[in-house]
Amino acid sequence: MKSTIFHPFHVAAGAKMVSFAGFEMPIQYPTGILEEHRIVRTGVGVFDVSHMGEFEIRGDDALALIQKITINDASKLEPGKAQYSAMCYPNGGIVDDLLVYHRGDHYMLVVNGANVDKDLAWVMENAASFANVTVTDRSEETHLLAVQGPRSIDTLQKLTDAALADVAYYSFVDGTLAGVPMILSRTGYTGELGFELYFRGDATVAATVVNAIFDAGKEYGIAWIGLGARDTLRLEKGYCLYGNDIDQTTNPIEAGLGWITKLAKGTFNASDVIANVKAAGPTRKLVGFVMLTEKLLPRQGYEIVSNGDVVGKVTSGNTSPGLNIGIGIGYVRADLAAPGTQIEIKARGTTFPAEVRKMPFL
Amino acid sequence: MNFPADLKYTKDHEWIRVEGSIGTIGVTDHAQGELGDVVYVDIPDASATVASGGTFGTIEAVKTVADLYAPVSGTITEVNGDVNNAPESVNKDPYGAGWLVKMNLSDLSELDGLMDAEAYKALVGQ
């Protein structure tokens, strides 16, 4: 089992560690998931997401490769901008969702930690048909902290000359923070104001960054936030989680990722399949739903029922600390996808009422 | 972690405190730690008669959901109505304010099959 460079900090903070994406990662700290969730919504929290993968794509054919393997239009990216995208297999199934960064003289792809090996193999396989492109896996040496919450800029601005308030959502700057060179990216997985910090260095460098951030955020009640709260935070915003809501058996159209699927950019992996799905309309759709009873929290794998028929499956679910009721995401038959549609969630040998809602939930 | 000596424990991580023929039942400190923040306790039948090891409810927590098993046979006489107004009491005070049900026990000899604090402590590796 691998561990990130911040591992000693998690242990010192009393984290409960679990195996995730091949790493020993913190699922929660002693305050608990609900309190961590509240800290990020009202103050500032720090996530260690160093398990994520980073690939560098260089060469004259870098953009052409990215255009072939991703569904969004990377030609629209300017230097200093990032883009949410996904890679598909030729049959339309999703390899992974990812961020594409335009770094000026090269691109950086940021992929899910659990998919690094699979994604790297897929990118390399596709790169083989291009003459002038190199793909380098930088996952090992790249550390990634996400500093998220309404007080994130107040915290980080004390430590950097970069004008953070001027960095637009899905933009980034190269700067230094606490004297350490890094990418400061205005992105995140919480729906809150926040930055993701990509940097390299040894344990001393990592400690410098962590200690500076926690000192700067002390007056705002800064805390480490684990994977548990990361999940409830993203669920309230309706963000897909690879392995739950999207995977190799789901296509971007049924997953509600039509907004990042740019068929107009020309031919790319699975563009023909995706065009057909779009033309015919998907047979199932990923929807959000809210429980109409407090008795059940929806969980991955529970069946979704309508008029006695199984019409789909829950792919993610939990309590919404903000709404104080169970919320979930799941695939349903396309005719049941409209907000307001009454459905039922099957569990414990019975069913519990729920209603399809537009996402984000809040 | 807390293991009060006056309680009996089950391998399903419940505790029971017996006074006369009435048993007060809840989940252990270890169990609440594994569940994470408790959100809702569902006891569908507040006067159910349950055999030893039978399920009488469900506990919904942020990390997972767990069934509640009767440590011994009996009939539910009281459900802690305060728990769903303040489910965090199961996390903060699992042996006190976070109790779940009281049961009229039908066979006190079944208590002999439960663990004492030392045996339970060993079970959870403390």
Mean pLDDT (10-residue bins), chain B, 126 residues: 95 97 97 95 96 97 95 98 95 97 97 97 91
**Burial of residue A49, with CB atoms counted within 10 A of its CB: 0-12 exposed, 13-18 middle, 19 or more buried:** buried
- Nearest Cα of chain B lies from the Cα of A317 at a distance, in angstroms, of 10
- A274 domain-assigned: no
Over residues A173-202, the pLDDT tens digits come to 999 999 999 999 999 999 999 999 999 999
Contact residues for A26 (Cβ-Cβ < 8 A; gap 6+): A10, A13, A15, A16, A17, A18, A48, A224, A226, A227
Expressed as residue numbers, the domain containing B100 is 8-123
Q: Report the pLDDT value the prediction gives residue B126, as an integer from 0 to 100.
A: 76
The residue out of A137, A167, A197 marking a domain boundary is: A137
- Note whether A197 and A316 are same-domain residues: no
A28, A32, A297: residue with CB nearest B60: A297
- B2 domain-assigned: no
Largest Cα–Cα distance of chain A, in whole Å? 61
- B3 domain-assigned: no
- A255 domain-assigned: no
- Note whether A171 and A181 are same-domain residues: yes
Over residues A25-63, the pLDDT tens digits come to 999 999 999 999 999 999 999 999 999 999 999 999 999
Optimal mutation site among A294, A346, A351, interface B, most CBs of chain B within 10 A: A294
CATH at residue A332: 2.40.30.110
- Note whether A146 and A225 are same-domain residues: yes
Element (H, E) at B108: none
The residue out of A81, A113, A137 marking a domain boundary is: A137
- Note whether A154 and A12 are same-domain residues: yes
Helices (H), chain A: 7-12, 33-42, 62-69, 116-127, 152-157, 203-217, 227-236, 271-280
The residue out of A83, A112, A137 marking a domain boundary is: A137
A32, A34, A294: residue with CB nearest B40: A294
A27, A34, A295: residue with CB nearest B37: A34
A339-356 average pLDDT score: 97
- Nearest Cα of chain A lies from the Cα of B91 at a distance, in angstroms, of 10
Q: Report the pLDDT value the prediction gives residue A211, as an integer from 0 to 100.
A: 98
- B1 domain-assigned: no
Q: How many domains does chain B have?
A: 1
Q: How many domains does chain A have?
A: 3
Strand ordering across the sheet containing A172-177: A172-177, A180-185, A194-199, A143-148, A45-48, A223-224
A348-361 average pLDDT score: 97
- A271 domain-assigned: no
- Note whether A148 and A228 are same-domain residues: yes
CATH at residue B80: 2.40.50.100
Kindly report the average pLDDT of chain A as a whole number. Answer: 98
- A341 domain-assigned: yes
Over residues A211-238, the pLDDT tens digits come to 999 999 999 999 999 999 999 999 999 9
- Note whether A45 and A148 are same-domain residues: yes
- B119 domain-assigned: yes
CATH at residue A221: 3.30.1360.120
- Nearest Cα of chain A lies from the Cα of B29 at a distance, in angstroms, of 14
- A42 domain-assigned: yes
The model's pTM:
0.95
- CB–CB contact A228 B39 (8 Å): no
Expressed as residue numbers, the domain containing A129 is 53-137
- A278 domain-assigned: no
B39, B84, B91: residue with CB nearest A297: B39
Contact residues for A154 (Cβ-Cβ < 8 A; gap 6+): A44, A220
- Note whether A124 and A177 are same-domain residues: no
- CB–CB contact A297 B63 (8 Å): no
Over residues A124-174, the pLDDT tens digits come to 999 999 999 999 999 999 999 999 999 999 999 999 999 999 999 999 999
What tokens does A255 get? Answer: 């997953």
* A-chain residues near B40 (CB < 8 A): 294-295, 297
Peptide bond into A282 cis (omega under 30): no
- A264 domain-assigned: no
Band the pLDDT of A287: cuts 50, 70, 90: very high
- A202 domain-assigned: yes
Is the distance from CB of B68 to CB of B57 less than 8 angstroms?
A: yes
